[in-house]
Structure 1
């Protein structure tokens, strides 16, 4: 900021030296300052547009999450969404929908730069140890890959490529941990 102010002062001083007449110097300085002010207004409007888009995107994601949560709790509402690509129980459908929400959260964090490549790989390596994570990606990856890689967003394509890479590594590493083996059964389990 100080460098910018010094540059502006130097430009104004140069204008005074180059233009002998004070009125011409003031006119030149006025034009320069008006141009800087206009650039500031333009930058402010661009920032405001980005903020508005971010708020709108988050509102849309929140609405989508709410609809998914409602569908996960009600078979009649779940039937309003597209049918699963393969026959499955409602419980498995709910698990896949929730895994998709998890993947969507990681996608958003990656897009925003909150998660870098190495952190994403670490998260996915743990995620794909489990049956549900693998099941979700094995049946939904075509849409994820087509949507991300076929689009114009480089980070979305990178995200999908990393997810696919870690999924393939998990498959090569051996079988997934079955969902029924995640937790120890106790007498208080439902």
Structure 2
């Protein structure tokens, strides 16, 4: 909305400047001293240059914001399409074998887990690209991401591919993949990962039923 307001303001100023001579000619009396008005207009010309520059800057800012919004919308559409493909592949093992094959032999269950982890990284990348995550916040997210053993395994297996892809991108892509590598190394240095078994309930322990409360 701010970009649209700047754009309209800029166009309004340009229209005002362009229409000024015609307005003066229409409202000026018949005996107007146009020579004197010409001298005044020369002084006005310096002001009009400044106003024109401001107007053009507003239009340029509006166009820049529109370009950024269009890029964000396109990236989101691509991300949604990728998520639909991943959902379809995860729901059918035969399709998973046909799409995104593993770089080395791995069980189907682990491959699914790595795919989810990769999608989680992709979500962080998207948020970082559009400015929803600063470098500091992204580092915090990655520290939590690499606490688990599956995330660390996935980066060991697929990290080289991510680095090749991101280095071919823009500056934010390169910053992202560099920070992922740094936080992975920091996680390794901090100690062992959280094993998958630690997410599971011990055998023989069942969930207790939550007692129903009466609100009468």
TM-score (norm. length: structure 2): 0.67
Cα deviation for residue 170 of structure 1 reads 2.2
Please give the alpha-carbon distance, in whole angstroms, between the structure 1 residues aligned to 2:72 and 2:38: 50
The structure with the larger Rg is: 2
Q: Is 1:184 matched with 2:211?
A: no
Partner of 2:87: 69
C-alpha spacing 1:85/1:107, structure 2 compared with 1 (3 Å): same
Q: Residue 57 of structure 2: SS of its match in structure 1?
A: helix
Q: Quick check: 132-141 or 169-178, which moved more?
A: 169-178
SS class of match (2:132): coil
Q: Tell me how far 1:24 sits from its aligned partner.
A: 3.9
Provide, for residues 8-61 of structure 1, a one-character-per-residue CA deviation record: whole Å limited to 9, x for no partner.
9xxxxxxxxxx9613444566555544543433232222212211111111111
Q: 1: distance between equivalents of 2:164 and 2:94? A: 29
| Partner Cα distance (1:125, 1:164) in 2 | 11
- Pair 1:76–1:175, CA change in 2 (3 A): same
1:68-88 CA-to-partner distances (Å, cap 9, x unmatched) read 111111122213313100111
Between the two structures, name the one with larger relative contact order (CA 8 Å, sep ≥ 6): 2
* Runs of 4+ with deviation above 6 angstroms: none
2:69 corresponds to 1:78:
no
Aligned counterpart in structure 1 of residue 117 of structure 2, from 91, 99, 107: 99
Judging changes above 3 Å, is the alpha-carbon distance between structure 1 residues 30 and 129 closer, same or farther for their aligned structure 2 residues? closer
* C-alpha distance in 2 between matches for 1:117 and 1:33: 38
Q: Distance in 2 between matches of 1:125 and 1:42?
A: 40
Residue 21 (1) aligns with residue 13 (2): no
Q: In the comparison of the two structures, how many residue pairs are matched?
A: 171
Give the secondary structure class of the aligned counterpart of 2:138.
helix
